[in-house]
């Protein structure tokens, strides 16, 4: 199930090869492992992308692509997973990371103004960077582990169900003369 869905949704290598902005990377992107949709490859790519999205740094998607190419896992899945951190989810995600980091470091979380702006951020960065980084790393590890475990179980169960249905549909596969 997930493999066929991914093959329908994800762009093909041929379509990406024709994109002007990806032409300088054609030598890297021709590797079939970077587009494989088998379970282990997709699970590793999901882990790369999700963990990258929890890092409180700019450039999470390019980081996910570089790690995916280095590990030879599905680049498109890693990119899609790194987009979990988008402008709508970044605030709550990093605030949760900050709160978890403050709790782990046993620090009292500071008060946030009603309107967070860059001036306030630059003035407070020295105080909040450690709990933010620690909390984001811990949350990233937990969410990545849970997501990979859940997708793995779903993939296995769906594959087993489809295999059983295929065996029941074709009596000749069970050894019955048909």
47-86: pLDDT as tens digits: 999 999 999 999 999 999 999 999 999 998 999 999 999 9
- Among 105, 110, 151, CA closest to 130: 105
- Structural domain of 159: 2-174
Model confidence at 178: pLDDT above 50:
no
- Please tell me the total count of domains within the chain: 1
Write out the two tokens for 155: 């993939």
Using a pLDDT cut of 70, give the percent of the chain over it: 80
- Angstrom distance (rounded) from CA 92 to CA 84: 12
Q: What is the mean pLDDT of the chain?
A: 84
Q: What pLDDT, on a 0 to 100 scale, did the predictor assign at position 2?
A: 66
């Amino acid at each position: 199930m997930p493999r066929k869905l991914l093959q329908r949704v994800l762009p093909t290598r041929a379509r990406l090869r024709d994109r002007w902005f990806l032409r300088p990377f054609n030598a890297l992107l021709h590797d079939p492992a970077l587009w494989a949709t088998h379970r282990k490859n997709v699970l590793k790519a999901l882990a790369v992308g999700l963990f990258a999205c929890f890092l409180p740094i700019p450039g999470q998607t390019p980081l996910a692509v570089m790690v995916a190419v280095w590990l030879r896992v599905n680049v498109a899945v890693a990119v899609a997973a790194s987009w979990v951190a988008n402008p709508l989810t970044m605030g709550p995600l990093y605030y949760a990371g900050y709160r978890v980091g403050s709790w782990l470091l046993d620090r009292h979380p500071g008060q946030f103004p009603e309107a967070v702006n860059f001036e306030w951020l630059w003035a407070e960065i020295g105080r909040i960077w450690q709990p933010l980084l620690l909390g984001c790393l811990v949350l990233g590890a937990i969410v990545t582990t849970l997501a990979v475990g859940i997708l793995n179980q779903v993939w296995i169960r769906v594959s087993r169900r489809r295999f059983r249905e295929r065996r029941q549909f074709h009596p000749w596969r069970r050894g019955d003369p048909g």
